[in-house]
Amino acid sequence: MASTAVYTVEGMTCGHCVNSVTEEVGGVSGVTGVQVDLESKKVTVTGEGQIDDSAVRAAIDEAGYEVAG
């Protein structure tokens, strides 16, 4: 069963930021899709089964950004 999680990510300002976040989060086990909206700062993550929230947050951190809230 597929699941979706949405994160608000601070610090993204350009296409390079979007690529970094997409690449890092896309590498998380079980993640099947990453959609980044630079304007709203929303990152939508889709995956098979339960998405590992801590792994996604760690990947965003690894890319150099932080999850708001």
- The per-residue pLDDT for range 36-50, each reduced to its tens digit, is 999 999 999 999 989
**Can you give the pTM of this predicted structure?**
0.93
Q: pLDDT tens for residues 6-61?
A: 999 999 999 999 999 999 999 999 999 999 999 999 999 999 989 999 999 999 99
Architecture of domain 2-67 in this structure:
2-Layer Sandwich (3.30)
**Cα(34)–Cα(25) distance, integer angstroms:** 7
Residue keyed to tokens 């079980």: 30
Distances (CA, A) of 46 to 10, 40, 49: 20, 18, 9
Spatial CB neighbours of 24, under 8 Å, sequence gap ≥ 6: 59, 60, 62, 63
